[in-house]
A and B are shown apart, each in its own frame.
Chain A
Amino acid sequence: MIKAENLIRKFGSLVAVNDISFEVKEGENLILLGTSGCGKTTTLRMINRLIEPDSGTVFIDGVDVRTRQPEELRRGIGYVLQNHGLFPHYTVAENIAIVPRLLKWQPTDIRKRADELFHKLNLDPVLADKYPAALSGGQQQRVGLARSLMVNPPVLLMDEPFGALDNLTRISIRKEFKALDELVKKTVIMVTHDVQEAFEMGDRICLMDQGQIKQIGTPEELLFYPANDFVADFFKEQRLQLELKSVLVCELLPEYSDRTVSVWERMEQLLQRDVPEGSAIEDLMSAFSAYKKQ
């Protein structure tokens, strides 16, 4: 779906992105993870040509993006920013209608699609006529996402989409986004510096440092088979929690039917019950430690 080949980009004497290549399959969520200044945002912005690479090529569906007119290219790619980037002088309804209007949609179609997304994103319809300044941070971010999803683009680029939110809001919105059917089908590339976020949202993680990829793989691969010391050190502090989140219950207990629930989520479920099922937790934990010893 998306393929980056040998991307290099310099800003003055600084090499922001130094020979990066990766591939994202259709429907996959790839997380560009790293500390600030590692080149992850530059990499993201080269995909929709907000930044042009000095050398290297980005292909979308096999087509070199440089052969496409930049505005037309961007209209077909959803784009979500950290500070939502909503137009302060447009109402919520007008904000989410921007791309459809650029694509000359009929007003009735815009209205229909907006209603649908409002519903899916748990946005109160009365917000449609409000200006962004009147919305809470969480609402603004939902509107930002709704705006990027309006024309149902196959590819979505997200640059620290939860970065400006407080911790509690961030966690709950993240869960909501993850469960959203619109996002499940999409090819998503998301930039973040938050390790927890990367593990929760990503099918694969691309860990970057100083403009280069240190390792690219599934969360489990990065945790259990780090390619180098940098990768191992990077997750050291939150290791246990990450492991619990990245291992699925079905991998430990073959009889467990739901194949999407992680050990972490299963523990949360069990602990929330009024009468804790002590043995269930103990079984899970011992299976987990056995799994780790393999």
Chain B
Amino acid sequence: MDQTQSFWQFVIQQSDKLWSQTWAHIGLTLISLVIAILIAVPVGILITRKQKLSGIVLGFAGILQTIPSIALLGVLIPFLGIGPKPAILALFLYALLPIIRNTYTGIMEVNPAVVDAAKGMGMSRWQILMKVELPLAFPVLMAGIRTATVINVGVATLAAYIAAGGLGEFIFGGIALNNSNMILAGAIPAALLAILLDFLLSLVQKLNLKSIRISYLVLPFIFITLSSFYLLPTQIGGKMLGGFTPEFMGREDGYLGLKKTYKLGIETVVISDAVMYKAAFEKKLDVISGYSTDGRLKAYDLVILKDDKHIFPPYYAAPVVRQEVLDQHPELEGVLNLLSGFINDSTMTALNYKVDQLKETPEKVALDFAKAHHFYKPARVPGKGTIRIGSKIFGEQYILAQLYKILIRGNTDLDVITKTGLGGTKICFDALTNNQIDFYPEYTGTGFLVLLKPDRKTINRLAGDVKGVYSYVSDGFKQQFNIKWLKPIGFNNAYALMMRREQAQSLQIETITDLTNHLNQN
């Protein structure tokens, strides 16, 4: 990969994707907004008439607002599946509060003497609403719509987690791939979009409602709504649908390699690994890009397709430690290496299954495992210093962090704090190089391709070479970052393509080549 590629080169090279993501982003934002306006404005008017309802309605909309966006998307998937539908519903729910509240406030703030005069002159309730209350509340109402728009442009980035597209694909892909250009290519258009929509709405806000016909407002409104549906990603025309994480989509050892080496032509959507396995299980997706030790593999009865052309490099896990820490606490290296050899692929899958599916805490799983394998020792009294363990944001890393904590507390006089859930590779690695954590478990393949980014020749030479990759990252990290790779733990959490077991069996697909051949039939 060319490291010196500038932001503009990236944008130009990816302009097709950028446009389609931007359009999808606009589509998601506007559709949800239009639906929200159609519902929230009448509700806001209703609660000015039925004051007793106002507390309940505003409270309920307020609660919706406080639900974390990712959680809300997760909750909606069982009902609406993946794709634009749950994303639009979530965005719609977020847009409700500002619009309802501002409609309500705007109308309540209209001078009662004016409404009284309107009534006294013989205007009907409808005329009072349309000619007095709404025009006077309009600036406040529009301020609510503007707030909702800006919120929605932001939240719509998360739509990328559930295969609804949008600029989040670049943002989360960029974070996962340690590619700043990609992050910016998503973040800058999203920010510009928020500013632009807000500006356009500010022009609407200044309109004098009295002097224009309502139809002049309604027509563009309908036009925007209809055209927004056109902007949404259309999907599912092909035989099979692949759901890949943003990270996998952008990687040489991921989707790019699949296309190049296997000539795999499959329709794809971008999706978060948090919902990917379930979506495959529920037949929303046919092929997914999982991790070979993931516990959900077992839970959802998925099978791994054999990588017969060896494009997925080995991903052996090992702790990466800052050299300074090892110098300061020489006893640490030996202790961390104690875990080496205990865990193979199936052991790790079983541990992950306990956390991911049986919902046991990583602490308990780690403790049970340590006791069962007789390396548990009661914690000593700490006093020599503190080791900060980091982890990425998935179960396996949490378990490893807890195992290391048990080992360190039992075998040294060091105290331990864990900083788990450090997002993707980039966040975790930056924390390490910036001296915010002391070590975390990393995978050889990730260190090789994502962090060191060697040239194409090196990648081709070392792909599939377990020892070669390990020694390459070992040397590279030492020279570039002064970070040491300790002994591999023993399991290989490589990328893998997966399918539902019964579908793979009925189609007789065992390898990725089989899959390609199946897709090319016709």
Contact = CB atoms under 8 A, between A and B. Distances in A.
A81 B113 contact: yes
Interface stretch (B55-63, B118-126, B462-470): B118-126
B130 to A, nearest CB: 12
A79 B120 CA distance: 6
A79 B121 contact: yes
Contacts of B208: 89
Nearest to A103: B122
Given A88-B111, A89-B136, A90-B210, A74 B121 contact: yes
B90 to A, nearest CB: 36
Nearest to A74: B122
B210 to A, nearest CB: 6
Interface in A44-80: 48, 50, 70-76, 79
Interface string B42-60: 0000000000000000000
A216 B389 CA distance: 91
A98 interface: yes
Contacts of A213: none
B121 A50 contact: no
B117 interface: yes
A79 B121 CA distance: 7
A87 interface: yes
Interface string A90-103: 10001000110010
A102 B135 contact: no
Contacts of B111: 83, 88
Contacts of B117: 79, 81, 84-87
Contacts of B120: 48, 50, 74, 79, 81, 85, 157
Contacts of A73: 122
B122 A87 contact: no
A129 to B, nearest CB: 13
B204 interface: no
A141 to B, nearest CB: 13
Contacts of A148: 121
A88 B123 contact: no
Given A88-B111, A88-B136, A102 B116 contact: no
Contact of B119 (A50, A72, A147): A50
Contact of A72 (B122, B127, B135): B122
Contacts of A82: 113
A157 B132 CA distance: 22
B274 interface: no
A42 to B, nearest CB: 13
B135 A85 contact: no
Given A87-B132, A89-B210, A90-B210, A99 B122 contact: yes
A147 B136 CA distance: 20
Contacts of A79: 117, 120-121
Contact of B121 (A75, A83, A88): A75
Interface in A196-244: none
A128 to B, nearest CB: 16
Contact of A83 (B113, B135, B209, B210): B113
B217 interface: no
Interface centre among A70, A83, A87 (most CB of B within 10 A): A87
Contacts of A71: 122-124
Interface string B99-124: 00000000000010110111111111
A162 to B, nearest CB: 15
Contacts of B114: 85-88
Interface centre among B114, B120, B136 (most CB of A within 10 A): B120
A74 B119 contact: yes
Interface string B123-145: 11001000010011000000000
Contacts of B124: 71
A74 B122 CA distance: 5
Contacts of B123: 71, 98, 102
Given A88-B136, A89-B135, A89-B210, A102 B113 contact: no
Contacts of A90: 210
A218 B113 CA distance: 31
A70 B113 CA distance: 19
A89 B121 CA distance: 17
A47 B206 CA distance: 40
B431 to A, nearest CB: 56
Contacts of A76: 122
Contacts of B210: 89-90, 94
Contact of A75 (B122, B132, B135): B122
Nearest to B209: A89
A81 B121 contact: no
B121 A98 contact: yes
Interface centre among B117, B121, B209 (most CB of A within 10 A): B121
Contacts of A98: 118, 121, 123
Contact of A99 (B116, B121, B135): B121
Interface string A112-156: 000000000000000000000000000000000001100000000
A160 to B, nearest CB: 11
Contact of A85 (B113, B122, B209): B113
Given A88-B136, A89-B136, A89-B210, A81 B122 contact: no
Contacts of B136: 88-89
Contacts of A72: 122
B131 to A, nearest CB: 8
A188 B111 CA distance: 26
A148 B120 CA distance: 10
Contacts of A89: 135-136, 208-210
Given A84-B117, A85-B116, 12 more contacts: A50-B119, A50-B120, A74-B119, A74-B120, A74-B121, A79-B121, A85-B118, A88-B111, A88-B114, A98-B118, A98-B121, A157-B120
Interface of B: 111, 113-114, 116-124, 127, 132, 135-136, 208-210
19 contacts: A71-B122, A71-B123, A75-B121, A79-B120, A81-B120, A82-B113, A83-B113, A84-B113, A84-B117, A85-B114, A85-B117, A86-B114, A87-B114, A88-B114, A89-B208, A90-B210, A98-B123, A102-B127, A147-B121
Interface of A: 48, 50, 70-76, 79, 81-90, 94, 98-99, 102, 147-148, 157
